[in-house]
């Protein structure tokens, strides 16, 4: 269904714009990714409405989606599995963040933030064998991911040390950890091959 919709969008684009036929697969893939991402984001926002915590979804999407855009990481083999995985990751982040809120422990929060940031900074970006990118794009993504994660770690660490309410820092901290885990998985898969 998603691929049919992406094909429909691509056909519509080509009917209205004079574009190179060689770029057709690129546009279709772009529409597939965009539609998949929007469906996941909408679903996460819908789940957060049921949880009565829209802020958690916004914080998760802000950290998880934008950082993974440049840092990369594990990719599910199908769009359906990606949808399920992304929603599951959000639910796990939400539940673990509730533990942080309950215990309000500064040291584990700082350790998790710094460790996650170090992993993301070191491994960014993870190369996807199915969708290779040029060396120039790789370097650009690495620089952006490293800048983003450095800023996020600095802000989160500062907020933790300033004793900011864990309601606002727990989801970003655990989201950062989720990105790090999603980057470790392909590294472990490489070793087992």
Three-state secondary-structure class, residue 132: coil
Q: What percent of the chain has pLDDT over 70?
A: 97
Alpha-carbon Rg for the chain in angstroms: 18
Q: What is the mean pLDDT of residues 114-124?
A: 96
Task: Say whether pTM exceeds 0.85.
Answer: yes
pLDDT, residue 92, reads 97
pLDDT tens-digit readout, 141-180: 999 999 999 999 999 999 999 988 888 899 999 999 999 9
* Least confidently predicted of 64-68, 129-133, 135-139: 129-133
Dihedral Cα 28, 131, 76, 41, nearest 10 deg = -50
pLDDT above 70 for 82: yes
């Amino acid at each position: 269904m998603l691929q049919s919709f992406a094909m429909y969008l691509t056909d519509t684009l080509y009917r209205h714009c004079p574009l190179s036929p060689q770029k057709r697969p690129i546009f279709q893939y772009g529409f597939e990714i965009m539609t998949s991402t929007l469906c996941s984001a909408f679903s996460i926002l819908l789940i957060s409405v049921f949880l009565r915590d829209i802020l958690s979804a916004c914080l998760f999407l802000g950290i998880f989606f934008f950082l993974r855009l440049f840092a990369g990481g594990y990719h599910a083999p199908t769009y359906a599995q990606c949808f399920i995985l992304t929603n599951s990751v959000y639910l796990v982040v939400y539940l673990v963040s509730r533990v942080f809120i309950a215990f309000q422990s500064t040291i584990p929060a700082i350790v998790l933030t710094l460790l996650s940031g170090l992993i993301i900074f070191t491994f960014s970006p993870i190369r996807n064998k199915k969708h290779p990118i040029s060396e120039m794009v790789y370097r650009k993504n690495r620089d952006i991911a490293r800048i983003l994660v450095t800023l996020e770690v600095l802000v989160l660490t500062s907020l933790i040390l300033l004793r900011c309410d864990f309601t606002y820092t727990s989801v970003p901290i655990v989201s950062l950890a989720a990105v790090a885990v999603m980057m470790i998985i392909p590294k472990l898969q490489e070793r087992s091959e």
